[in-house]
Structure 1
Amino acid sequence: MVQWHPTVDVLFSCSYDNTIKVWAEDGDSDDWQCVQTLSESNSGHTSTVWALSFNVTGDKMVTCSDDLTIKVWGVDFTRLQSGDINASWCHLCTMSGYHDRTIFSVHWSTEGIIATGAADDAIRLFVESEDLSVDEPSYKLLLKKEKAHAMDINSV
């Protein structure tokens, strides 16, 4: 899957190689280059990354994987908006244990709800937790719909 960032000209790709790559145009040569790779070494996924989506402001991204996890990433949005293509995305949290087969699809709504669809035929909805006792963002399950379809849910 490939997806443009919602507010700046930066392209994101996810792959069978277990990574998410961030692509930006080099202002000097007008050539596109990979400026960051999110992988297992920086708390990334350990298996195929199937999809990604951005929150409405573009300062967070969510990814899903064959490793049965959903990961939320963040960036210093001020740096990104100012044209700093090297603004690094970092892992904020991991959600696991909600699907028992490959998570194929994830989408972040404009209302802040994260939806996932998986090979277990289920749809899950998550919202950011308002628990102020933790320093990092966390998400809680809002809704689970078992057997939402008769077979795999490939896209939400």
Structure 2
Amino acid sequence: MLYVINDCIDFRAGQNQLVLKSSGVAAKLTYPAAKCLEIILDQQGKIVSHAELYQKVWEERGANTSPNTLYQNISLIRRALKEMVPDGDKLINTIPRRGFRIHVDAVVKKMNVSDIQPVVADIITREQNIQLPSTPARISGADKLNVNIGVLLFSSIGKFMTSLSALGQRSFR
């Protein structure tokens, strides 16, 4: 599942990853933090109780946890969001003695990966299947060139899509 927050941050729930759309800067979340964020985003505008988070994040997996663990994971989410945008840590509101919710002014779009343009959906899906070698391998000159071309191509696609998005938001006279 892909959540787009305020048209500037992508949260890739299946990959536990936040990505700043404008630059591609990414932040990896722990599984519990990502699951908490996913539940809060799913309930946009509604308060998600502490009990619901305990149950869906930990108890369903056979684990018990303390309130401190829950608050540490919310802190991880806020820290990652703040790395993305200056006031990102304010996107998750604490409702004292009740729970958490996404800020009422935040705009969250929820999409299935299959709803995204085919090229982008393929890139996101392939990212999940990448296996890194356990020991560093030597990279030949041709492989370095291929990697550099791939990085340039991926960066160009991102910039192109960002400019298309910006064009769509402008009004022409």
TM-score by length of 2: 0.27
Q: Which has the higher strand share?
A: 1
Q: Which has the higher helix share?
A: 2
Who wins on radius of gyration, i.e. which is larger? Answer: 2
TM-score by length of 1: 0.29
